[in-house]
Structure 1
Amino acid sequence: MMKSKLNTRKRNLGQQQGFTLIELMVVLVILGVLFGLVVPNVTGRGDEARVTGAKTDIKTIENALETYRLHNSHYPSTDQGLDALVAKPSGNPEPRNWRGPYLRQKPTDPWGSEYAYINDNNNNFEVISYGADGQPGGDDLNQDISSNDTE
């Protein structure tokens, strides 16, 4: 009787324990459901972050433009552009009291394009990101983000 118990133990120790095919399939189905629910919710967040980043950048540029105006009594012209915030511009109107740089470098939007700058010469300006496609107009992620629209 003692010998049969030892033989049974040896056989049990020699057998490998593993997962059955059904157990593996159940785990794969559960992982598939989790990825199906989580991934779509996470992937859209990057696009939302870019839009928020562009709005934040525009506010920063607006603040730099206001400081430029306080020092020089006017905003840079459309021709001088946002470069006037990084290096002293030439041309009209001449910045007589330029104390920059007002920004460390010329800003680019979260999609890698330069911000557009328009000054109507009436001390009204607009800073624009043309969105993901870099073209005027568009919907969703391609929609323009303007200093006139941000609050």
Structure 2
Amino acid sequence: MKNNKLLSNAKRRMQRGFTLIEIMIVLTLLGLIGTFAVTNYMKSQREGYIKSTKILIQQLKTALDDYYRTCNSYPNTGQGLAALISKPADSTCKDYDPNGYINGKKVPQDPWGHDFIYISDDGKKVTLKSLGPDGKEGEGNISLEDIQ
């Protein structure tokens, strides 16, 4: 009789499940782990975007240098990076490569979806930069000078 009572008490305890405190502790731990994982993911993604932007800037600079060697000047600010895809109407470059200087039909954007800033007033030097994640001038910009 006593054995039956012990077995039924043990059986009842096993069927009770988790207490509210135990569930809250598990949920809190899962929340902390999730927060940590998301934070690290966002940091890694940002670093990856910055590296990709630097590579894109280097590739654009290489294409601009090819344009310079062919045309003896960089495209002016008005012609912009689009001059690397097709010959600008106001271009005096006689040896412009009919295939352009970059692949594709569109000037690439930075990983955040912003256009690169291109300036060349005298045709002898260029300013090339990305406005970074916030898309605003100032801190967080990635420029050609940062890479070289």
Question: Post-superposition shift, 1:38?
Answer: 2.8
Gaps of 5+ in 2: none
Structure 1 SS opposite 2:61: helix
Structure 2 SS opposite 1:111: coil
Match of 1:95 among 93, 96, 109: 93
Structure 2 SS opposite 1:49: helix
Provide the rounded CA distance (Å) in 2 between the counterparts of 1:36 and 1:132.
21
Provide the rounded CA distance (Å) in 2 between the counterparts of 1:76 and 1:134.
24
Aligned to 2:43: 44
CA-atom RMSD in angstroms? 2.7
Q: Which amino acid aligns with 1:146?
A: S
- In the superposition, the TM-score normalised over structure 1's length comes to 0.75
Question: Post-superposition shift, 1:78?
Answer: 1.6
Q: Which amino acid aligns with 2:96?
A: W
> Structure 2 matches for 1:1-151, cutoff 5 A?
16=15, 18-92=17-91, 94-99=92-97, 100-103=99-102, 104=104, 105-121=106-122, 123-136=124-137, 138-139=138-139, 143-151=140-148
Q: 1:112 to 1:33 in 2, by over 3 A?
A: closer
Provide the rounded CA distance (Å) in 2 between the counterparts of 1:72 and 1:122.
10
Q: Taking every aligned residue pair, what percent have the same amino acid on both sides?
A: 35
Gaps of 5+ in 1: none
Q: Which amino acid aligns with 1:125?
A: V
Structure 2 SS opposite 1:113: coil
- In the superposition, the TM-score normalised over structure 2's length comes to 0.76
Judge conservation of contact 1:89–1:95 (CA < 8 Å) in 2.
Answer: no
Q: Which amino acid aligns with 2:47?
A: E
Number of aligned residue pairs: give it: 140
Structure 1 SS opposite 2:93: coil
Provide the rounded CA distance (Å) in 2 between the counterparts of 1:122 and 1:90.
16
